[in-house]
Amino acid sequence: MGPVDLTDVGIEAELGSFLGFDLSLGYLHRFIDFTGAPGDLSTDYGEVSLELRRDFGFVEFVASSTLGLQSRDSFFAAGGGDGWIHTAGLEKTIPLCESTSLHLSGGVAYHDGFFYAVPGTHDWSHYYLAASLPIALNCRTTLTPYIGYNGVQQWGVYFPQGDALHGGVSLQVSF
């Protein structure tokens, strides 16, 4: 299988603070095209997530739980239903100038039946490392080039995964 083209569209709402943690709720819709794959393996699905974060001054702790929606109706229906992805990690932002900073992150993830209800999908799934360079274009718009690495365990009966180096650009508009 060749490269994967991925487009994400999402929305996030900040819920406030609870016991020193900042909470947010989000929805992300993913559009996936498996370029070069035989047949039409393009698909899309949604995810709802709850994120909490706490700033310790020198580093920020971030944890989230994400529920996959509609994945059972897509290409991924091979083994069963929707499930959860839980992540925990650390982030550090280093200011470079007034409108740009270097953002570093890393952490681990646990898949709990996400996409498949087959052996091997209820386990630690991957670790991640990423670096991004958010550039404030104006008071509401940020352009962010990034590069990341996922170290993936070999899980899944139908689609064994491998490590992945990825990169791209995101555009964020705040209202």
What's the predicted TM-score (pTM) here?
Answer: 0.75
Contact predicate 27/43, CB 8 Å: no
Which pLDDT value is given to residue 1? 47
Q: Is 73 helix (H, G, I), strand (E, B) or coil?
A: helix
Q: How far apart are CA 137 and CA 101, in angstroms?
A: 13
Banded model confidence at residue 68, pLDDT cuts 50, 70, 90: confident
Contact predicate 105/129, CB 8 Å: yes
Contact predicate 14/38, CB 8 Å: no
Q: With b meaning 16 or more CB within 10 Å and e meaning fewer, what string describes 138-170? A: eeeebeeebebbbebbebbeeeeeeeeeeeeee
Task: Walk me through the domains of the chain, giving residue ranges and CATH numbers.
Answer: 4-173 (2.40.160)
Contact predicate 96/102, CB 8 Å: yes
Banded model confidence at residue 38, pLDDT cuts 50, 70, 90: low
Q: What average pLDDT does the structure give for the chain?
A: 81
* pLDDT tens digit sequence for 82-101: 778 899 999 999 999 999 99
